Structure 1
Amino acid sequence: MWTLRPTFLLTLLGIGSLACATGLPEGVSPVRRAQELREFSQDHGGVDARKGIPIAYPFRLRIVEEETGSPTPAMIALRYAPEGTFAVPAEAADFFGHFDDGPQHRRLLPIFAPHWEPVGAHCVDGTATFYLIPGPWDLWVIKGIEYVPVHEEFETGEAPTPDRTVSLRRWVDMKTRGWWSGDGHVHSTLTNPFQRARLVRWARAMDTHVVNVLEMGDITATWFKQAGFGEAFRYQVGDTVLVPGQECPRTDEFGHMEAMNLSAGLVREPDRYYLYDAMTLGAHRQGALVAFCHVSDQTYQVDQGMSLFVPTGQVNLAEVLQFERLDPALWYVHLNLGWKLAALAGSDVPWGGSIGEVRTYALLGAEEFTADRWFEAARCGRTFVTNGPMIEFSVNGAPPGDEITVESGENLRVRARAWGHPTIGAPRTLEVVAHGRVLASATGVADSTQAIEIERELSSAHGLWIAARATCPNGEVAHTTPIYVNIESKGFEDRAELAANLAVRRTRLDEITVLVRTERESNPSGPIARMGDEILARVAIAREIYERLETGATDLSALRFR
């Protein structure tokens, strides 16, 4: 994604080079900075005579898991309160060379989360060494959303500050419930072992187990190069794994699409670039999953792309949570047509904030964690997305992503549960939705760790999809993939709104037809004009699918792009 958020512009303009509280230039390396400060202290008795500022004294911070007492990677922000400037730990990972058009040095990483006040943080591997001038300091430490974030205030004086240890405590361990976290959308060059080691440290510092690292392209080139694709090019430390994939094709006419867990190589045909099925079919042949990106933001004409390519059954997921925003309206539209689309969340680093600030949880149950099992769970739709609260949901005991068949009028046992931690986001509302309409809701107690629960028996005379969603007062959210309920095997689309929905889909196809005609007139040698006949052939197939759907047909499997 190329849209720059204001907070990210700060990074480009120097959020990573905010004046260090020592007063020394940001460009000086941490090792050299520490050496100069020690020399200044020895030579000038605690005052930097050249700069007229107090000399900084060493301060060492150790970050440990409360349960084990062992050092653990984490994100840390130490801010000099009077000026709002950040001290840079000597051990901070420097993501130089990771981002093709980002800053030359990238240590202060943005985090976009309602519960994270400092905006930025440094990635460390369990220890952090600073040199601090006298005065008041604010310290924040975070490790994803399953740990309670730490915020402390302290003051330094004209003497070394005692070392301190920060213990991070889990408020929930979703692994023990069978749910494993992942970030569906991260961009970083990964061509050498140093880059892989830094990126996996960042993922571990945010407690994110599967990171989909996407080479990004357009019709002319690709960026954020990967060393290769497939199992041999994964990089795993403990239960954290980096998995190469692609975000390509990307156009302003049909939206952006990604492929996760490619096994053989990049799927990109510039001569067929606007024929997105060329990528989806190639990716599926490699066993990969395909998703439309930025569905929540509805950018880059993604609705046109979804109207054209989703009906053929080649898209597995929709990216519905990103940049602190979950707007499911467009996702609901396509679910209401009877298409299965699992929920996906992705940070879109570096245009987003941090790895794992939004995340996709996949249900492995009692199975041992592997990346392949995570992707298979995502393929089956056993996912929920969140940037704070946790959520669980079942219908007749079936988890998200499952399809169940019942008789007309048969009761459906619906169970939903949402919970959180007040320092991150405790849910205030829990809703069960079907075809986008609220069937049941419950309200929780503000700033409480107590779960909100819904247990209802519902009945329906027609098929439907049912999902659960939760919202916190600070704006943090969670949403499950639907469970698909067939009544006597007649489908789960929203028949009540089908005519109106199909009218909009046909309008989108009309817009594509006009696009091809316009491009042929104004840019006859351009890619859309050159691929015009094949694009229009796909429009014709999508129209036929919509026509059959309107007449009540349920088996549309024979209609596929050639």
Structure 2
Amino acid sequence: MHKFFSVALRFSTAVCLSGISTENAVARSEFEIRVFDQDSGQPIAVRMQLKDARGRVRRVPGAVNYDDHFVFFHRIVLQLPTGNYSFEMDRGPEYHYRTGHFTIEAGAEDSTTVHMKRFTDMKQEGWWSGDLHIERRTRDIELLMLAEDLHIGPLTTWTNRHKQTSATTTPTLEPVSFDDQAFYLPGSGRLERSGGSLLFFHTREIPSFDSFSAEYPSSVELLKRTRKFPAAHVNIDQPTSWDLPIWLASGMVHSITVATSRLGRDGIFEKKEWGRPHDETLYPNPQDFGQWIQKLYFEMLNCGLRLPPTAASGSGFVKNPVGYNRVYAYVDGELTWKKWWDALNTGRVIITNGPLLRPSVHGRAPGHVFRGQPGESLKLAIDLKLGTRDHVDYLEIIKNGRVVHVIRLDEWAAARGRLPELEFSRSGWFLIRAAAENSDTLRFGMTGPYYVEIGNTPYISRSSAQFFLDWVYERAHTIRLENTKQRKEVLKYHRAARRFWKHLVDTATVE
């Protein structure tokens, strides 16, 4: 579904370099690019990757460069040596890619205009995009978000890697609104230690990390401090974190990243220190890492825990562009910063780094709880809209952690967006997933879960609860603390977690 164009450009060459022989000077010419939205005709910001004939990435002086790409608003003048070049232009998952090539030769000057075509407008249907992990410069954030068509951007501006000797209170900042439909807010934080990684939002406080070690104090102590901030939101940044079952048992985390920053455009970012390793016999390939993350999330849902899934690019921490992994929240009416976070907290979300799913189950967004009386069976009709610029073969309906329906796209189209009906005679949950063809990484879209309650009996899987109980015991063996008092203080949260998961094992309603 890529859109292609090709231009052959000829440039005059005028080189005048003081103190340098013209025999050694590299001939350079100017190539001007202007970019517009194809439908509105308005000038827009984009991200661009430029390569020479040898496949080497070209950086552009004066632009906002990062890794293999740069962003600009509407117009850029490229000063390049003569030769052949290829490029890819992008503006987030709601626009078609534009790719092409051009040749710069001596003797002429030229310019070109590019029109970016939007194929889906999520905000017109109430879906607004956000990225929960951005570590880029504040002065660049508006341009970066515009170039990715991103609407919500909490900026991570503190981490425990930058130690300070005392706790400080961040200024009472209001979100910065720009472009009428976008917001960003500095002041979010990231805690990364042996137990894993957490993201903190709206806490208005930067803790002191002067006395922190890799294991002491327990990260639960920091979670407890967030309770004095009514709007605080704590997101589990990496579900593979060793302390995942301890955090879940604490009841003080609000969401969990499923489209994690380890999922890159062209591969998986390998970070062995990011937690508990996965079973390589079940998940042998690098791209299987994303499947392992989803398994962890499904195991959590099977324990009756209802944390919404989120997405994070980690741009500035890893090489992803801003918004590569993103979470859309469904907002009724005008977008505000608070309404977006309220929607996230209630689970009205989809996550993606490619396919764009918009589900409706009896007119309800994800996060909704369907209720029935004991002995009653609920039948649920699922409607789905899908937009994608990547090749997707099929859709999946996942019920209580298992794929129960696989629907080919031609079948979905023939049914005019109606998916197979689901029937529940007991409590549980379900969601919809689409994966694009990509052998290097996991390119996917997934809805947040819907929930079903039949009577007062919850859905709690004994095997899933046992999975996390075993994890807690395994985690305890990794702790290295010589100080007896400190070790005792840390392990008290492990004992509390063991009691929590053991209770779920003992009271489980399904195997």
TM-score tier after normalising by the smaller chain length: 0.7 to 0.9
- Identity over aligned pairs, percent: 20
Distance in 1 (alpha carbons) for counterparts of 2:302 and 2:220 = 22
The answer to which of 72-81 and 278-287 deviates more is: 278-287
1:67 and 2:39 matched: yes
Distance in 2 (alpha carbons) for counterparts of 1:244 and 1:134 = 42
Distance 1:418 1:395, change over 3 A: closer
1:116 aligns with none
Distance 1:451 1:313, change over 3 A: farther
SS in 1 for 2:498: helix
Deviation at 1:449, TM superposition (A): 9.6
Task: Decide which structure has greater helix share.
Answer: 1
Residue segments in structure 1 that go unaligned for 5+ positions in a row: 1-36, 94-106, 111-119, 189-194, 555-562
Equivalent AA in structure 1 for residue 56 of structure 2: T
Within 5 Å, give how 1:29-428 maps onto structure 2: 40=16, 49-51=22-24, 53=26, 55-81=27-53, 83-93=54-64, 107=65, 109-110=66-67, 120-188=68-136, 195-218=137-160, 221=163, 228=170, 230-232=172-174, 234=176, 236-252=178-194, 254-262=195-203, 264-267=204-207, 274-286=217-229, 287-295=231-239, 298=240, 302=241, 304-322=242-260, 323-324=263-264, 326-327=290-291, 328-350=294-316, 351-365=318-332, 367-407=333-373, 408-417=375-384, 419-421=386-388, 424-428=389-393
- Count of equivalent residues: 459
**What do residues 507-560 of structure 1 show as CA deviations (whole Å, max 9, x unaligned)?**
2332344455x52xxx22xxxx54333333222322332233234389xxxxxx
1:4 aligns with none
SS in 1 for 2:364: coil
Distance in 2 (alpha carbons) for counterparts of 1:174 and 1:231 = 28
2:3 aligns with none
Residue pair 1:444, 1:452 contacting (<8 A) in 2 also: no
Query: Higher relative contact order at CA 8 Å, sep ≥6: structure 1 or structure 2?
Result: 2
**What do residues 181-216 of structure 1 show as CA deviations (whole Å, max 9, x unaligned)?**
11111113xxxxxx4331221111111111121134
Deviation at 1:79, TM superposition (A): 2.4
Deviation at 1:156, TM superposition (A): 2.4
Distance in 2 (alpha carbons) for counterparts of 1:391 and 1:62 = 31
Distance in 2 (alpha carbons) for counterparts of 1:277 and 1:126 = 47
Deviation at 1:148, TM superposition (A): 1.1
1:536 and 2:485 matched: no
Aligned-pair Cα RMSD in Å: 3.2
Within 5 Å, give how 1:518-557 maps onto structure 2: 519=481, 523-524=482-483, 529-552=484-507
Deviation at 1:137, TM superposition (A): 2.1
Equivalent AA in structure 2 for residue 126 of structure 1: H
Distance in 2 (alpha carbons) for counterparts of 1:230 and 1:50 = 59
**What do residues 210-260 of structure 1 show as CA deviations (whole Å, max 9, x unaligned)?**
1121134337727xxx994543364645322222344443212x2111112
Task: Decide which structure has greater strand share.
Answer: 2
Distance in 2 (alpha carbons) for counterparts of 1:405 and 1:269 = 46
Residue segments in structure 2 that go unaligned for 5+ positions in a row: 1-12, 265-288
Distance in 2 (alpha carbons) for counterparts of 1:199 and 1:372 = 20
1:464 aligns with 428
Distance 1:545 1:139, change over 3 A: closer
1:493 aligns with 460
1:429 and 2:394 matched: yes
1:438 and 2:403 matched: yes
1:98 aligns with none
SS in 2 for 1:163: strand
Deviation at 1:435, TM superposition (A): 1.7
Residue pair 1:400, 1:483 contacting (<8 A) in 2 also: yes
Distance in 1 (alpha carbons) for counterparts of 2:180 and 2:22 = 48
Distance 1:89 1:227, change over 3 A: farther
Distance in 1 (alpha carbons) for counterparts of 2:415 and 2:117 = 19
**What do residues 466-502 of structure 1 show as CA deviations (whole Å, max 9, x unaligned)?**
11111112352001111121111211323xxx1x333
Distance in 1 (alpha carbons) for counterparts of 2:96 and 2:221 = 45
Distance 1:197 1:246, change over 3 A: closer
Distance 1:197 1:66, change over 3 A: farther
Distance 1:294 1:514, change over 3 A: closer
1:15 aligns with none
The answer to which of 282-291 and 351-360 deviates more is: 282-291
Deviation at 1:150, TM superposition (A): 0.8
Equivalent AA in structure 2 for residue 200 of structure 1: E
Distance 1:546 1:481, change over 3 A: same
SS in 1 for 2:220: helix
2:465 aligns with 502
TM-score, normalised to structure 1, is 0.74
Equivalent AA in structure 2 for residue 427 of structure 1: V
**What do residues 5-50 of structure 1 show as CA deviations (whole Å, max 9, x unaligned)?**
xxxxxxxxxxxxxxxxxxxxxxxxxxxxxxxx85529x99xx9724
Residue pair 2:163, 2:210 contacting (<8 A) in 1 also: no
The answer to which of 403-412 and 348-357 deviates more is: 403-412
Equivalent AA in structure 1 for residue 219 of structure 2: Y
Distance in 2 (alpha carbons) for counterparts of 1:233 and 1:380 = 21
Deviation at 1:316, TM superposition (A): 1.4
Distance in 2 (alpha carbons) for counterparts of 1:370 and 1:553 = 40
Equivalent AA in structure 2 for residue 531 of structure 1: Q
Distance 1:69 1:243, change over 3 A: same
Distance in 1 (alpha carbons) for counterparts of 2:418 and 2:72 = 41
Distance 1:531 1:398, change over 3 A: farther
Equivalent AA in structure 1 for residue 445 of structure 2: A
Equivalent AA in structure 2 for residue 468 of structure 1: I
The answer to which of 200-209 and 473-482 deviates more is: 473-482
